[in-house]
Each structure stands twice: as C-alpha cells, then as structure tokens.
C-alpha cells in the first residue's frame, strides 16, 4: 500500500522534471529521452517515467516513435505556422477583452517587463528574452474576463514554448521590432483605444513574427 501511495508522487515528480527541461531548452527539439537513463538520474523506477511520458505525449511535447523511442517534439514548420496563426487570433481577441479591466499597476508591470526585454536583447540573452515576452502577454491575459479563452490560449502557448527561444535565434532582428510593438500596445490600451483597434494591433503583432519566420524560411531554401 505504501508503494502505491508513493507512485503518483513519483510520476508527478518525473513529469514536472522532464517538462521543465523541455520548456527551458535543456531537452531541445528532437532530443532523445532514454527512459532508463532518466530513471537512474531521478533515482526512481522506469514506471513513473513512462507514465510521465504518456502525459507529455498527450500534451504534444514529446513524440513516441516505434523504433527510435521517445523524442522531444521537433519543430514542424507547417505546424508552427498554423499554431502561431491561431494564437494570433486568440490573443488579439483576448487582449481587446482585457484592456478595459487593466490598471495602472498592470501598465507599470508591462513597462518593466519590456525594459527587461530590451536589456536581454542587448546582451543577446534570447532565452531570457523569450521568457519575458511570455510574461508580458500573460500579464495581459490575467485581466481577460473570458476564462475559457484564456485556457485555450495557455494550451496553444504551451505548445509554442518548446520552440519560442529557437525562433528568436533564427530571426533575432524580430526582438527589436517586438519591443517597439509592445510599447505601442501599452499606449493603445492605456489611452483607451477602441476594442477593434486593440484587437487588430495585437493580432498584427503576433503575425509579424510569423511573417519574419516565413521570410527566414524562404531565404534558407533559396
């Protein structure tokens, strides 16, 4: 009975440990996860590792291949493009809904995050920049009154987390433009711009990253 009670805790421990390393880039796209090696590193049996892998597979963070085992989900360019397109639509609407509910504390927090993003950009700390960019938008989502929409956003965003920093490395010039666009988005919301204007700008902000990625992909193939 004691072993059965401990099993869920070990499975949760394995799940959180593996997931955190996928999210921070330690286990990058395509990285092979060897279950026995992970079990030794965590000091637990392979069973909770396998259960954790099933959860991660359901979330789209890893893929189980018949002959090569478990790998962190690789960057599928078409999936990235499609996912970011959906994220742009959801985030534009959520930002417009959130704007009337935001406060001076929110504006100040967003400005502070944007300043830190500029510092990370200058030092070329792209992983830190990527995490701050995520914080910026999540701060806005907190004010969105549509809980279902926010949950959908988080689900889509989590799928993007594994490639976010990688994409900024591919198109580093996008970091400068993104910071400037954040400043304009803050201004629009703080000045009480119309919902349509805010939604359109927030959507275009996200799609600008998509267009930069498409240009990079086209250049690479020429």
If asked whether residues 194 and 107 sit together in one domain, one would say: yes
CA atoms within 13 Å, Cβ hemisphere of 190: 14
Of the spans 5-9, 31-35, 116-120, 167-171, which averages the highest pLDDT? 116-120
Q: What are the backbone dihedrals phi and psi of residue 71, each rounded to the nearest 5 degrees, phi first?
A: -135, 150
Nearest-angstrom CA–CA distance, 184 and 104? 16
Q: Across-strand partners of 32?
A: 71
Least confident range from 27-41, 98-112, 131-145, 179-193: namely: 27-41
Q: What is the pLDDT of residue 175?
A: 83
Residue 163's CB is within 10 A of a number of other CB atoms, namely 23
Range of the domain at 130: 77-221
Contacts of residue 179, defined as CB under 8 A and 6 or more positions apart, other chains included, come to 114, 117, 118, 121
With cut-offs at 50, 70 and 90, classify the pLDDT of residue 2: very low
Rg for the chain (alpha carbons), in Å?
A: 19
From 20, 49, 72, the end of a domain falls on 72
* Counts for the chain of helices (H) and strands (E), in that order: 9, 3
Residue-wise pLDDT for 53-95, tens only, equals 999 888 777 888 877 789 887 666 777 788 889 999 999 999 9
Using the CB atoms, write b or e for 46-64: b if 16+ within 10 Å.
eebbbbbbebbeeeebbee
What's the structural domain count of the chain? 2
Sign of dihedral through CA atoms 22, 203, 77, 66? positive
Tell me how far apart the 2 most distant CA atoms of the chain are, in Å.
62
Nearest-angstrom CA–CA distance, 114 and 129? 9
If asked whether residues 151 and 65 sit together in one domain, one would say: no
Residue-wise pLDDT for 115-128, tens only, equals 999 999 888 787 78
From 72, 91, 118, the end of a domain falls on 72
* Mean pLDDT, rounded, for 196-215: 91
Helices (H), 59-194: 77-98, 104-122, 126-141, 147-170, 174-190
If asked whether residues 28 and 124 sit together in one domain, one would say: no
User: Which CATH number does the domain housing residue 14 bear?
Assistant: 1.10.10.10
Q: What are the backbone dihedrals phi and psi of residue 33, each rounded to the nearest 5 degrees, phi first?
A: -95, 115
Strand, helix or coil for residue 26: coil
Of the spans 33-42, 105-114, 129-138, which averages the highest pLDDT? 105-114
Average per-residue pLDDT for the chain: 85
From 72, 95, 110, the end of a domain falls on 72
Least confident range from 49-53, 198-202, 206-210, 217-221: namely: 217-221
With cut-offs at 50, 70 and 90, classify the pLDDT of residue 189: very high
pTM for the model = 0.67
């Amino acid at each position: 009975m004691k072993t059965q009670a401990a099993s869920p805790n070990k499975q949760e421990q394995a799940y959180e440990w593996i997931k955190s390393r996928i999210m921070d880039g330690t286990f990058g796209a395509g990285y092979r996860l060897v279950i026995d090696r992970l079990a030794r590193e965590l000091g637990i049996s392979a069973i909770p590792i396998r259960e954790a892998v099933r959860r991660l597979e359901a979330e789209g963070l890893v893929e189980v291949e018949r002959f090569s085992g478990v790998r962190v989900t690789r960057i599928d360019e078409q999936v990235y493009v499609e996912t970011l397109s959906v994220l742009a639509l959801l985030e534009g609407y959520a930002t417009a809904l959130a704007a009337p509910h935001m406060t001076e504390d929110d504006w100040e927090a967003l400005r502070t995050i944007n300043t830190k993003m500029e510092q990370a950009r200058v030092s070329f700390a792209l992983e830190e920049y990527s995490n701050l960019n995520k914080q910026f938008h999540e701060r806005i989502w907190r004010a969105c009154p549509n809980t279902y929409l926010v949950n959908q956003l988080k689900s889509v965003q989590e799928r993007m987390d594994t490639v976010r920093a990688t994409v900024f490395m591919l198109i580093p010039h996008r970091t400068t433009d993104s910071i400037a666009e954040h400043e304009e988005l803050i201004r629009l919301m703080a000045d009480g711009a119309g919902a349509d204007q805010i939604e359109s700008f927030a959507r275009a902000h996200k799609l600008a990253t998509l267009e930069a990625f498409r240009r990079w992909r086209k250049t690479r193939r020429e």
